[in-house]
Amino acid sequence: MMPLPFGKLVLCRLVAGAIAALVAVLLYPSALLSMLDGNLTTAAESLVRQCGSLPLIDEFPSLGWNTVLFCATLPSTDDPLRADSFAAHSRDTILANLGSVEPNWRWKVSSETPEACSLAYRRQRILSAWLASAEHSVCLQALARRDMRLISFYFVLSGHIEITDRRTRKTLSISPNHVASARERAGNQMTIQSESSWLAFHIPESALRRSFEDLTGRPYVHEFVLPATCFSQDDAQGLYQTLRQAERDLNSAASEAMPLLAKAYKQLALVKLFSTMPHNLAEAFCQGTSGAAPRQLLKAEAFMRENLTNPVTIEDLAAAARCTPRALQRMFRTYRGGSPMGVLCNYRLAAAHGAIKAGRAGSITELALNLQFSNPGRFSVLYKSAYGLSPSSALRFTRNEGSTEQA
| 118 and 245 fall within a common domain | yes
Residue 279: its pLDDT value, please? 85
- Per the document, the length of the chain is 407
Dump pLDDT digits (tens) for 268-308: 999 999 888 888 787 666 654 445 678 899 899 889 989 99
On the question of pLDDT at 310 being above 50, the answer is: yes
149 is a domain residue: yes
2 is a domain residue: no
Contacts of 360 (CB under 8 A, 6+ apart): none
Segment 218-238 mean pLDDT: 83
| 209 and 253 fall within a common domain | yes
| 123 and 215 fall within a common domain | yes
| 148 and 187 fall within a common domain | yes
- Biggest CA–CA distance in the chain, Å, is 78
Dump pLDDT digits (tens) for 231-245: 987 777 889 999 999
Segment 182-200 mean pLDDT: 95
Residue 42: its pLDDT value, please? 39
Rounded Cα gap, residues 227 and 206, in angstroms: 20
On the question of pLDDT at 313 being above 80, the answer is: yes
400 is a domain residue: yes
3-state secondary structure at position 101: helix
Tell which of 72, 98, 128 closes a domain.
72
| 68 and 154 fall within a common domain | no
78 is a domain residue: no
On the question of pLDDT at 230 being above 90, the answer is: yes
Dump pLDDT digits (tens) for 40-96: 433 444 443 344 333 333 444 444 444 444 444 444 434 444 558 999 999 999 999
3-state secondary structure at position 144: strand
206 is a domain residue: yes
| Residues spanned by the domain of 168 | 83-284
Rounded Cα gap, residues 108 and 115, in angstroms: 15
Write the CATH number for 320. Answer: 1.10.10.60
Residue 390 near residue 349 (C-beta atoms within 8 A): no
3-state secondary structure at position 357: helix
On the question of pLDDT at 153 being above 80, the answer is: yes
Residue 307: its pLDDT value, please? 93
On the question of pLDDT at 385 being above 50, the answer is: yes
Residue 255: its pLDDT value, please? 86
Percent of the chain with pLDDT over 90: 50
The number of distinct structural domains making up the chain is: 3
| 12 and 100 fall within a common domain | no
| 44 and 91 fall within a common domain | no
User: Left (φ > 0), alpha (ψ -120 to 50) or beta: where does 56 sit?
Assistant: alpha
| 261 and 132 fall within a common domain | yes
| 151 and 57 fall within a common domain | no
Residue 87 near residue 101 (C-beta atoms within 8 A): no
